[in-house]
Structure 1
Amino acid sequence: MTKNISKEIPKEKRFLIMIILLTGVFFTLLNETLLNLAIPVLVHEMDAAPSTVQWVVTGYMLIMGVFIPVSSLMIQWFTTRQLFIGSLVVFSLGSLVSGLAAALPYLFIGRFFQAMGTALLLPLMMHTLLMLYPVKKRGTVMGFIGLVIMVAPAVGPPLSGVILEFLNWRWLFFMMLPLILPVLIASIFVLDNVTTVTKPKIDILSILLSIIGFGGIVFGLSFAGDESVSWLHPSVYISLCVGLVSLSGFVWRQLKSVTPMLEMRTFRHPMFSLASLLLFIGMMTQFSTIILLPFLFETALGISAVAAGLILLPGAIINGAISPFIGRIFDTFGPRILVIPGMILLVIGLQLFTKVNTATSTLMFILLYTLVMIAIAMIIMPAQTNGLNQLPAKYYSHGTAIFNTLQQIAGATGIAFYVTIMNAGQNLHLRGANSFGFAVGQADTVVAGIQFAFKVGSCIALAGLIFSLFIRRAIPLNEE
């Protein structure tokens, strides 16, 4: 039987542990988008092509996609304290190496360590909080997790814009060290071990299949998300084919194993499977919207990158701010009262985005994006919490690793898919205009592509709405 940690650790201690975990993850997730605005500066200083420098951002997502699946194994091999402190040390080392980088390869190495630390911290936080809090309070706790996951990446671009305005780009990394140090010290004195170290057999082949499978998919999709690269580019289809074959082998091996690295039997639980689908749709929408709207702002409306980030900031902050309240509603009423209305709002919001044009006001963009972000807050965390609640405790580390891996794959898929759809919409607009002999402006072409992408997105959201009708409050399963 699994020990009831939620009763053994006092309420005040649990709260302190939660704050430490949330703070640590906030600072690490901040780095996922912190370099977005620094790409032009790095291109000039490192004397490299933009497509090469872009991998300091894209590579972060790639490394997270590779290491998150391994986190379920790490959680079983190391104590909570060891893994949390070790991950923060690795992340801090990456920050130091990145800040001191004299050439691009050293910056890539630093970002590798940063991403590896983040990839291990995110599932560890979710798993630890699932163990610390009983089912009846998990909605609220997952709401706080949602606040961190949503606000941290949204704060990255505006914050980096301010730093780049007054300081050198290296301070994007150096500033992390004094922020992480207090969290690291506090974790040494406060953090308790909440899981039992079982040290299962390490399956090297599973690890290799996982790295090649998830890495290949994220790598291929990252290339496909580049507007200048088509899906028929060898870097895309070869990576995707290798990734899918390896992932198929990984899944088969996990199902045959007595002690799998990543327990695929979690998908036998219907609410977990449904949550995975809704999570995938929600994260695809979120990541793609963050890409599509700045592209519209900068290319069609002439808005700067910093201003574009500020337009998106209120929606992200409101999403994070309401997440704890949504969690409390989930604890009281269950998922249906949140997820189904959330999917309806998402369909409405995406449909309204199909009507935007160059005359749409900045305030309207803020309101529409905020509507979409509220809808996503009502969908992702309630569905995710409900899905995890149906799992027995022995599957928690596997469930959190699967959800966090799906987020990375959904993000890469959303960007690649919707950029492709946007380009297709632009081509349709150009062909239609040319057939009638009309002159076409760049702004109108961009708007047509964006509208087409949101039309497809609203159709996918409508399918998600139909699936959401089957959601019900999960009945927790006790570990045998």
Structure 2
Amino acid sequence: MQQPEHSAALPAYNGTVILIVLITGAFVALLNQTLLIVALPPVMEDFSIDANKAQWVTTAYLLTNGILIPITAFLIDRFSSRRLLMAASGLFAAGTFVAAVAPSFFFLLAGRVIQAAGAGMMMPLMQTILLTIFPVNRRGSVMGLVGLAIGFAPAIGPTLGGWVLSFGSWRMLFTIVLPLAVLHLIAVFFFMKNVTQQRPVRIDLPSIALSTLGFGGLLYAFSSIGGEGWLSPNVLVSTAVGAVALFLFIRRQLALETPILNFGVFRSGVYRLIVPMGMITFALLIGTETLLPLYVQNVRGGTAFESGLLLLPGAIAMGAMSPFSGRIFDRFGAGWLVVTGFALQVVTTVPFVMMKPDTPLVLLGLVFGLRMLGLSMLMMPLSTAGINSLPSRLIPHGTAMDNTFRQIGGSIGTALLVSVMTGTAVAIQPLPDPPPDALMTGVRVAFLVGGILSVAGFILALRLKKLPAAATPEE
């Protein structure tokens, strides 16, 4: 493919090769994100720690991602795309090695943080590069392929993790990922080219500190709600610190001549709509993938492997549909695609609200597959529609902003739905461990709340449909 006009001074590159390199890296990083979910019990046993401490294996990963993603727009402006991707891939591989050989829980946690630092840079960097090298009329198809990795990899993680654990130690989960991470690093070294223009952007340390406190504080608060409750001192203090820091961060970005995260992206009417819809989409995705395993294991008494199998049809449906969603987007725009996607979220809420302890898992798997089919019409089409409404210079900031708020949306969604589930169960039967019947009611009420979120997304989708299919970027 040809280079874009603004990149005439950059070295020649093959867009298809770069696409393959980026998607494989994203697949490995996202697979790793959920691979460890089912491994917490053996980790607790090996290191003699309780569940609250073990949960930091996933919480620290989420926090590091949330802190790094907003800063990537600045990094993309400052450093070459090849050098930055090398750093991201190298950090991910190094973190995987540290986690695989970790002699203590501290080193396991350190490995996860290093992994997340690489993965946090990789996702918005991948989107920025692909949206830069491919023309507007092909972006939907390209981002549809990205959606395949984003939807399929995290969904098969629990299933694959459960299967691997049936043969050996949790360390095998990292030793499987490590050679894939090293191969990706080698591929980046040989095949990646610099495709973005650098600018002499100064490092604004106060902005980075405020971004870390703001986004990190909010993500930490939302990820703590499920275990501690909405009104716990830890959650309230973290929320307050995060909200104040985020407010100061936004004020500083609006005042700076070259902000590290440009809030000018919100001047686009399309972009203003896709951010809340993206947050709802991730809240429904992560929330559903959290509630269903809790239902299988805590209500039905099933295994982690059975939980993973229940999620597998959804992974297949989303992976299969994402490329087609991209092609539909390129031809018809985001309008009806997004409306249909949210309509499927509303429709599939009904069976989940009505499910019982003896509802056939095959039926629930099919419903989940249909739900994920709808999410495949939302994930990448929403991102692509928002980015297409921005001028080229704001693409790194648009992708970083979108990814950051989706992380927050996923955290809020999980916290909201899990707290509704546990709160309902405890209200019915106030015991330390509510019985399955009470938990069953809690799961149903949580899905009802998810249905309300789906309706809100559907209303926003109708508003998006009224906007021009190809909005004119606003300078």
TM superposition score normalised by structure 1: 0.94
Cα-to-partner distance string for 1:207-248 (whole Å, 9 max, x where unaligned) = 00000000000111111022xx11121111100110011001
Q: 1:290 aligns to what?
A: 289
SS at match of 1:175: helix
Q: 2:135 aligns to what?
A: 134
- Change in Cα spacing, 1:479 to 1:469, as seen in structure 2 (3 Å) is closer
Alpha-carbon distance in 2 for matches of 1:168, 1:446: 31
The amino acid across from 1:446 in the alignment is L
Cα-to-partner distance string for 1:432-462 (whole Å, 9 max, x where unaligned) = xxxxxxxxx9222111111111112112211
SS at match of 1:200: coil
Q: CA deviation at 1:50?
A: 1.5
**Worse overlay, 170-179 or 62-71:** 170-179
Q: CA deviation at 1:28?
A: 1.3
The amino acid across from 1:271 in the alignment is V
> What aligned pairs does 1:136-215 form with structure 2 within 5 A after superposition?
136-215=137-216
Q: 2:336 aligns to what?
A: 337
Aligned residues of 2:314 and 2:368 also touching (Cα < 8 A): yes
Q: 1:448 aligns to what?
A: 441
Alpha-carbon distance in 2 for matches of 1:7, 1:327: 30
Q: 2:231 aligns to what?
A: 232
Aligned residues of 2:223 and 2:415 also touching (Cα < 8 A): yes
Q: 2:375 aligns to what?
A: 376
Residue 27 (structure 2) pairs with residue 26 (structure 1): yes
> What aligned pairs does 1:51-66 form with structure 2 within 5 A after superposition?
51-66=52-67
Q: 1:435 aligns to what?
A: none
Q: 2:301 aligns to what?
A: 302
Unaligned runs of 5+ in 1: 432-440
Alpha-carbon distance in 2 for matches of 1:8, 1:108: 39
Instruction: Give aligned-pair identity as a percent.
Output: 38
TM superposition score normalised by structure 2: 0.95
SS at match of 1:187: helix
RMSD of the alignment, in Å? 2.1
Q: In the comparison of the two structures, how many residue pairs are matched?
A: 469
Residue 462 (structure 2) pairs with residue 461 (structure 1): no
Q: 2:391 aligns to what?
A: 392
Unaligned runs of 5+ in 2: none
SS at match of 2:463: coil
Q: 2:470 aligns to what?
A: 475
- Change in Cα spacing, 1:258 to 1:462, as seen in structure 2 (3 Å) is same
Q: CA deviation at 1:429?
A: 4.1
SS at match of 1:192: coil
Cα-to-partner distance string for 1:336-393 (whole Å, 9 max, x where unaligned) = 1201111111111112211111121111110111121111111222121111100000
The amino acid across from 2:439 in the alignment is V
The amino acid across from 2:109 in the alignment is F
The amino acid across from 1:454 in the alignment is F
- Change in Cα spacing, 1:42 to 1:430, as seen in structure 2 (3 Å) is closer
Q: CA deviation at 1:428?
A: 4.8
- Change in Cα spacing, 1:56 to 1:6, as seen in structure 2 (3 Å) is farther
Cα-to-partner distance string for 1:71-111 (whole Å, 9 max, x where unaligned) = 11111111111011111111111111111111111111111
Q: CA deviation at 1:13?
A: 1.5
Residue 255 (structure 2) pairs with residue 256 (structure 1): yes
Cα-to-partner distance string for 1:249-277 (whole Å, 9 max, x where unaligned) = 11111111111110111011111111111
Alpha-carbon distance in 2 for matches of 1:276, 1:282: 10
Q: CA deviation at 1:163?
A: 2.0
Cα-to-partner distance string for 1:151-194 (whole Å, 9 max, x where unaligned) = 11112112222222223222222222221222222222221111
Aligned residues of 2:268 and 2:473 also touching (Cα < 8 A): no
Alpha-carbon distance in 2 for matches of 1:116, 1:285: 25
Aligned residues of 1:294 and 1:305 also touching (Cα < 8 A): yes
SS at match of 1:371: helix
Alpha-carbon distance in 2 for matches of 1:141, 1:274: 22
- Change in Cα spacing, 1:274 to 1:479, as seen in structure 2 (3 Å) is closer
Aligned residues of 1:6 and 1:133 also touching (Cα < 8 A): no
Alpha-carbon distance in 2 for matches of 1:418, 1:26: 27
Alpha-carbon distance in 2 for matches of 1:461, 1:161: 30
Q: 1:271 aligns to what?
A: 270
Residue 117 (structure 2) pairs with residue 124 (structure 1): no
SS at match of 2:412: helix
Aligned residues of 1:386 and 1:473 also touching (Cα < 8 A): no
Aligned residues of 2:333 and 2:470 also touching (Cα < 8 A): no
The amino acid across from 2:460 in the alignment is F
SS at match of 1:139: helix
Alpha-carbon distance in 1 for matches of 2:26, 2:340: 29
Cα-to-partner distance string for 1:385-416 (whole Å, 9 max, x where unaligned) = 11110000000000110111112111111111
